[in-house]
Each structure stands twice: as C-alpha cells, then as structure tokens.
Structure 1
C-alpha cells in the first residue's frame, strides 16, 4: 500500500477517537470489526510496539506510513 491516501483511510479506520494516534485498544477493536476477533490485548500491544518508533505506546500516522514502506 504505497498510496498515501489509501494509507490515511486505513489509519483513520483504526483511529476510532480521531486523535491522530492508534492505541492497542483501538487496534484490537478495529481488527474485530474487520472480522478478526482473535487479536487479544497482548497481541495488539505487540503489533503497536513493533511499529512504535518513539516508544510512546501509540502509533502515529507517520509511524504507520513508515511501517507500510517496508
């Protein structure tokens, strides 16, 4: 997904409260809504931590975009 507009739409789907950051809870909830109810809290935390460059426990759009560049 190299299209920044598509990436922004995907990011917005995860960012439930619209604050510009994806938390583990938001990630877990979005994955369940997309049909993956097996993403647990610890799994969501691990996914966020793996892409969280500044280690604040949240994923910014910049971190999300960078993770897609691959």
Structure 2
C-alpha cells in the first residue's frame, strides 16, 4: 500500500497551478522536469484519461491515489 503523504507530495509536483487537478499539460511538464522528455502531449492525454474516473479531462488526487492502490 502506498503512503498517502508521499502520494500527496508526488501529486503536488504534477499539479503545477495547485488547483487540485492535473491536466495533460501539467503531467507532460512534470515528467520532463523529472527527466522524461519523451512524454508527448498524446501520451500525457492517454495517461490522464486512463486514471480519470469521472471523465472531466483531468486527474484529481483521489483518482491518483486510486491508481496507486490498484498498482
């Protein structure tokens, strides 16, 4: 099981504007900052879509946490 405090810290690295939602652009930018410049816009969109259980186009912390719990 993931540590929720570590998960919150990681999520906050992705949530650049601090609004509680990670957009594909924020995901792409964070991945580049962490050393993965190969995450393209379409890849970022696919990752967010795969975790976006309410289909609003972004990933909330609850969706991020659920994804961590599911492996």
TM interval, shorter chain, is over 0.9
1:14-64 alpha-carbon deviations (Å, 9 max, x no partner): 000000000000000000000000000000000000000000000000000
- Give the TM-score, by structure 1 length: 0.98
TM-score, normalised via structure 2 length: 0.97
2:28 equivalent to 1:28? yes
SS at match of 2:67: helix
Q: Give secondary structure in 2 for the equivalent of 1:50.
A: helix
Partner of 2:2: 2
Q: Distance in 1 between matches of 2:2 and 2:42?
A: 28
Aligned partner of 2:37 in structure 1 is: 37
Structure 1 segments of 4 or more deviating over 3 A?
Answer: none
Aligned residue-pair number: 70
User: What 5-or-longer segments of structure 1 have no aligned partner?
Assistant: none
